[in-house]
Structure formats: C-alpha cells, structure tokens
Amino acid sequence: MHFQSDKDILTELHTFISGATQTSKSNPLDLSKTALNLLKTLPTARDAILEYFCTVFDIAVNNYIVRIETEIATGQLPSTSSREEATVSEIHTVLCSFVSSNPQAWAPIISTWSLELLGELSSRYAGRAHVSLQASLNETLQLWMGARSTRTLIDITTQCLTCLMDAHTENSESWMNALLDTSVKHSPNFDWVVAHVGNCFPNTVITRVLSCGLKDFSMHKTSDTGRKSPKLLSVVGILGHLAGSHFTDIRAALLQLFTWSLKPFNMLDTDLKIQKVATVPFLLQLAALSPTLLSALTTNISHTLKECVILRLCTYTNDWCKYFGSAKILQELIVKLILDSERDGIQIVNLLLNFVHMPDVDQNVGFIRENCRETLEYVLQDIDYIVRTETLTNTDNVRLLRSLTKDIGGLHSLLLSSERLKYETATRIIMLMGKFNHIVTLKSCCYILRRSRSYDNLVMLVRLLGNHNLCSKSVTSFGYVDHFGEILKQTLLEISNPESSNTDFYSEFGNTDQMWQNLLTLLKWEKSAQIFALKSKPISQAILSNLKRISNEFGSLKSENKIRHIIAELLHITIVSISINNFNFPPHLIFSLVNANVNYFFLCCQEPNAVLKVKGNRIVCDLFNCLTLYSKSARVNALREMLERSLFKKESILFGAKLPDDYKDEKGQELLLYKNHKHSTTMMLTQRHSSVFHSGIIGHGKRKPQFKNPYSAEEIKHNVAHLILAVKSCCIAFSEDPNDPLKKSPISLEALTLVSLLLVQFVSPDVMYNGLPWPEEEFSKVTIERDLYIRRLFANTPILWNFLRFIAAYRPVLCYCSVLLRAICATLLHQWNSTGQGAGSYNKYDLLDTTLWLLDIMSMGQLLPPPLASLRIPVEVLKPNEIVQLLRFCVWNYIRDHVPSPALFGCDATGLHWRDPTIARPGQMYTDTFRAVMYKNIDKMGQIYAQFFLDIAETE
C-alpha cells in the first residue's frame, strides 16, 4: 500500500485550504480529489472537508433549481456543467468506496453527514422551482430525485445503511437516531428522504424507528414531556409516510413490539424493564397522534387482546399512570382511541363486553370487569353527547360509528344475545347510528323481527321503534305505509324472495315461522294497551299496509301449517277489531283474503291437533263474517269456493265423499288405450285370440280398487259441522231495522238463497227442467238420466244431505232446491218399485235411509204440511209397494199440485217464515193413501194412528 509522507499531506492541506477559501484559483474536480485524499489520510481535517463537500453539493443543488426555474420561465432547459457532474461523481465514488472498505468506521460518519446535508438542502430550497410548500410527497420526491447531487446523497445514505445492516453492528441504531433527529429538525421538508429510505428498507426502518422512539419515550419522567417529545412526533411522521405502501409491515412491527413487551425479562436489567413497561403507553401515544397507526393497532384486535394478555397487562396499569399523569387520563385516552377507531369497531365492542363477563380465573378479574364496564359506558355516553350537541349529517365525525355501520352484522348478532348487557349495548349503538340513517335502524328491526326468540329481544325492537319515532302517531287510513310497515314489507320480501335479499346484512335467514310468531307477539302487546311505544298502533297499521302480501302467504299452499295458523290469528286480531266505519278494504284485497281463508279452512279440517282445529275454524268463521259482511261479491266467491271444493275436489274426502272419478294426481295416469297398445304392435281385431285387453274404464286406466276414506267417522262428523258453520258465517248480513242499520241479523235469507242456487248449479248443471214445479210422474222418464246422476252425487257425497238440512232450517230457502228433491224422489220411486217387484238389486237399507232423509228434509222445510210431515214414522216398517204408494200419492202428487214456492210462506213479526198448518192442511186426496196404509198396518201403528187422524171417531 502506498503511504504518503507528512510533507505531501501538508502540501495537499495547503492546496485544499487555499482552494476552499478561494484565495487562489483551482479546479473543483482536482480540489475535490485532494479533499477526498485528505479525508482518508488526515482525520483531523474531516469536518472541514465534509463542510467543503456541503458547499459543493449546495452549489450543485442551487444550479439545478435555477435550471428548473429557467425552464419554467423560458421554456428552454440550460445545459449542465460537466465539471460539476464529474466532481459529484468523484465524491460519490470515493465515499462509497470508503464505506464499503470499512463500514464500521466510515458508515456512521458519512451517513450522519449525508442526512444532515439532505435536511439542510431540503429546507433551504423548499418552495423553489415548480414545487410549492404544500406540494404532495410524490411531487417533492420527483423534484429532488431529478437532481444528480441529491440523488448521489440519497445513494450514499442507503449504502451506509446497507453496510451497517450487513455488519450487524450497533451503529445502525445511531444511524436511525440521526434520521429521527434530522426528521425532527427539518420536517416536513425532509419527509421525501424518509419516504425514499423507508421504501428501500421498510422492515429495518420501521423496526429501528420504533425501537429508537420507545427508548426516547421511556426516558421521559413526566407525561407532558413524553407526549410532546419531538422524536415521538418524528416517529409518527416517518411511519405515517410508510403506511401508504407498507401498512402490513407497520402493523406487524407494532404487534411484534407489543408481544415483546409481554415476555418475561430479567429484573436486574432496569433499562429493559422500563422499556417493556413503557411499550403500551408508547403505542397508545402513537395511536393518539396518528389515525393510521391506530388503524394498524386495532385491525383484528380480537386476536391480539386475548384473555391471558389482558390478565398480563393488568399488572402494569399502575406503572402506566406516570406516562399519562393519572388513571383517569389513561382511561380518557383509551375512550378517545376507541371513538377514533375506523377498523374492526365491532371487535372492540365485543372485547369490552366479553371482558365484562370474564370468568373468575384471577384476582384481577374484578378490576378488569369494572374498568371495561366503565370504559364501555363512557364510549356510549360520549357518542350520545356528540350526536346530541354537534350538528352532524353523517357518522364521519364519529369514526367508531362509521366502522360499526360497515359491520352491522356484528351488532345484529349482539341484538339476539341472551346476556342483557350485550343486547342493550347493541340497541343503544343502533339508536345512535339511527340518528343519521334510519335505514340502519329499520334493517336492525327487520333482523330482530326475523330472528328473535325471546321477549327481551322483542322489547329491544319496541325500544328502537319508540326512540326513533318509527311508529305512526295516529291510526291512518288503509294503504299508508309507516316505518314499521316498511320493516314488515322488507321482511316479507326477504321471505318470499330470499335470493334478492341484501347479503351484506344477512348471511343467512332465521326461521320464517319465528318471524310470524314475533309479529303476533307484538300485535298482542299492542292490543294489551300497556306499552306506551305501541299506543299509536304501529303493528296493526303495518299489518294492514302489508295485507296483500300477508294474504298471499296465508293462502299459499306451500306455506307450513304452523305459519298459516299464526297468520290466521294475526288477521283475526287485526281485521275483527276494525270498526265498521273504518272497514274500507279494496275489492281485490277482500277477494284475496277470502280465497286465503277458504284454503285455511280446508287446512284446519286436516289438522290432527284438536285444539288447533277448533281454534282455526273459529277464526275462519270470524274472518268470513267480517269479510263477507261488507261485500256481496266476496260472499258469492267464498260460498262458491267452499261448496265446489267440498263437493268435487280432493278436499271432499274430508267430509265423507269418495274421490271424484275425474280426479287425477299430479303424476297423471296413462290412458287404457295406450296400455293395451303395449301388448302388441299389430292391429288387434275382435273375435281373435290376440284381442286380449286390460280390464278397466276406458279413458281412465285400470279399474281402481274400492275407495276407502282415510278419515274416521268421528273426524268426518266434526269436519261436516265445521263446514256448515263456515257456510253459515258467510250468510250474516245487516238487519233491515231502520233504528239500527248496523245491527247484524242472525242470518241472511238472501245469502241462504244463494247457497241453494249454488247447490242446484253444481249438482244439476243442466238448466232444462230446473224449475220449482214438479211435473207428472211419467215425465220423470225424460229426466231419468239426470235424476240418476244427481242421486249418485248424493250417494258419493253425503255432505249434500247436510247442506239440504242446513237450508231446510231456514224457510223458505229449501224451495229453490226443488229440482234436487224431485230427482231424489223420482229415483226412489223407481228403485222401491223395482225392489217390490223383485227386479232390483238395491240395498233396502240404503233406500230406506235415503227415503227417511228426503222426508225429514221436506218436513223440516215445511214443504209437506201435517200429517204428511210425519210420513217418515211409518215408512220404517212398511213394505216396498206401500212406500211407493206413499211417495207417489202423498209426496209427489201433493208437491205437483202445490208448487214449492216461497210465496206459500208468510213472515211473522219476528221475521220468521213459516206455513200456517191450519191453512196449508192437505186434502183427503193426499191423505187417504196415508190413512189406508196405516189402517192396513194397524197392528203395528195403532198407537200413532189416532195422532195423525184425530177426526176419525167424530166423522164415523
């Protein structure tokens, strides 16, 4: 290695001094080389040489700025000085070689010099050229990296740090301190240097900056000096610059520092103990000074602050107070940080709630519970104060609320908690959020309504409604959609079309029947008139405003039976309580409700639970009573649907009928012709051995086995009774009393007449010969086919007899069913006559029962006056030919000559229609046959003969 003599060094020193002080002219490049040589050989001249280099770089930067400003002013960019470029390049090359050859000696010296020089240059030329003081960091960085001089200094700085990191020396910490000190002195003009270096070594810079900041923070004895430390502000600034592109690294470094503070340490190492104790206060101060660092600390905080961590931190709380002044100030800072949290706010709330309910696993648990409860209460109170006192239009000023709004699903989960503090806290937060956005409250109400399984949760729903004025203040007309109406509407839309629901708020849906049960509970609370928030009847109004959707769900055959029972009770409470003056449903809605109620009636008839069955049928009757009372068309529709379905549809088996012959299941049936074609591909001719056919009914497949009703006789009996009551409930009308026009009559003859006409229309669709008069008996040969069809319907559908009995009880309505009675009587005459002659194969007991039913109905309807009204008594013991005589001469001839017309009935003062037996007494031509038959069987009927013919003895 070449060594210079002292004389040579002294000569170079004189040359450097004269050139640097400009006492003699010199070449800048040669002078710089001399200075670089002295820097290595003469350590005592180091400061002067580095100061000279500062002048060189200052001149270069000034020339660069002037060139940029000249270009802006003239549009032409002046050329650069080659000597200047060569000088800067030479300095860069030599200094980098020094650092590379001996990093431990040169890197700390040169890095400190370069950082200080960069800070001075950045501050000196700030606001020059085209970059203002308010320019963005990217614009500033672009300006300085365009200059060869500053780019050289940055490169020297990064190389120094690289060498220090590779050498694993403690000098890297001194370099970081120099960076922090320079940042404090020249901020914000120095920020571009921090940003560039940080982007080059993000992990190192972030970790070392935090380490240096923590050491400085831990050395401050008072809270004020710690919070106002310039180095702390510098740490915040540097990390803030790096957060844009290295947020994940910053968060990892913060968590690493926090985890390090929890690890056990040697009690003898005082400095280490102080730093670990100061870590949490240091992190809290960083979070208070930077929202970005607060977001980094609070992101996924539930995985950081676990129960074991909280118990560990609890032991440091007394030591933390010196960094804040008092425990109250510390708590206030934590509350402020919670309010400013923009990320994972729901996790923070859940942490506080969970720690309030922490199990007793340590002696400090009580302390943790108390402080978490107080902190949570302070947070809620501060939010409430901000909301009430400041003029806010949204949740931007309360970052915690904004965070919770983004994760509303977490609050919804708390709403359904079994722990009181949790659902009350969630309710309070939603109420505060609702001050800015009612949609949040409405969606929360939808969630509770849909999922709540306890009364406590429903109480929170009522509280939300009452607090935000979501209840309608007065009973409004039908069709007005209030706030709770919107809640119910949205809920019903989610039920009917869950795929279109907002999945941001609902990841899954609760049970549909639970929603209906909750709605029913709310309605009952409203009807109790004990809850002030429900005084304005919001539940009833919501049901009325969504009645169309509810009726669709009520009448849907796809709905579960349990749901339809609940909806029926809802409608029953709502509709039945509506006064007459307010009953103004549109016609289409009434028809929808009527059809739905008809479907529900047949559902009740199939209900295996006796209590639900009776309750459901009572509701059916009440609903029919209300709906058909104000709409004649609805009455017609209800009666038509019930009669047709109970007679001819699959529901007829509920009332003892056989399934109609033309009834087919959903799978359908293959025609008999097609089945026969499967046996052969050739044409099958008659009288051939290949003409083998399936047995069956042509067009209807194979012959079906004899139908067996799956319902017991007792069930059928109850179903028939409920059907008659349902039909009767459709026949209520207002009385014609002029003094009380709103008074309801027990039953309307007009409606009963409609029932009679519908029966005739369904049973005897042929309009020919459907009048009231009975023709001659011989004429029945013309209508025998229709009469047999009617008779077969009565045999297969016994409910027809019950309908006739029901009609017969309200005279003179039975007259309109004259054609049905005539057909049955005609077939009875034919069959009894065939039985008496031995030519018929009819069941005598079936004939007898049918005959008795016919006579009973005609007597009840007063179509047969006394004594013909008592024909059923002797019929049971008479021979077939005698029964034929009674039916022909006493019944047929009498009705033929006395047309069963409503005109035969008079009306008394009570509104009852009846025939006066003294006026309508039949002549001898109708009673002689009756008398002769009884006289012929006097041995069996002696006791009752005198009761029918009391005038015999006096006449004789």
Instruction: Give the CA count within 13 Å in the CB-facing half-sphere of 687.
Output: 0
pLDDT of residue 683: 45
Separation CA 552–CA 849 (nearest Å): 44
Position of tokens 């365009």? 146
pLDDT of residue 759: 93
Is 660:764 a contact under the CB 8 Å cutoff?
A: no
Position of tokens 């900056």? 209
Q: What is the largest CA-CA distance in the chain?
A: 183
Enter the DSSP assignment of 322.
G
| First CA to last CA distance, the chain | 173
Q: What's the Cα-to-Cα distance from 7 to each of 4, 485, 578, 658, 870, rounded to whole Å?
A: 8, 102, 119, 134, 160
Separation CA 132–CA 49 (nearest Å): 33
Separation CA 560–CA 563 (nearest Å): 5
Enter the DSSP assignment of 696.
B
pLDDT of residue 476: 36
Separation CA 753–CA 816 (nearest Å): 7
b/e sequence 98-135, b meaning 16+ C-beta within 10 Å: bbeeebeebbbbbbbbbbbbbbbbbeebbebbebeeeb
Separation CA 893–CA 216 (nearest Å): 124
Is 83:144 a contact under the CB 8 Å cutoff?
A: no
Its sign, for the CA torsion 563, 564, 567, 568, is negative
CB 376: neighbour CB atoms within 10 A?
22
Tokens in use for 435? 């001050």
- C-alpha 907: how far from its chain's center? 60
pLDDT of residue 441: 86
Q: Is 876 exposed, middle or buried (0-12, 13-18, 19+ CB in 10 A)?
A: exposed
For the chain, 956 residues long, the average pLDDT of each consecutive 10-residue run is 60 68 66 74 77 85 86 79 82 84 83 87 82 70 84 87 70 72 78 80 83 83 62 80 85 91 73 86 90 90 88 86 86 92 90 89 84 93 85 68 88 91 92 84 89 90 73 37 80 74 44 88 90 86 90 84 92 82 80 93 92 94 88 91 92 84 50 54 45 51 67 92 94 63 68 92 83 86 89 92 93 91 92 70 77 92 87 86 90 89 80 75 85 85 74 44
Is 272:265 a contact under the CB 8 Å cutoff?
A: yes
pLDDT of residue 916: 73
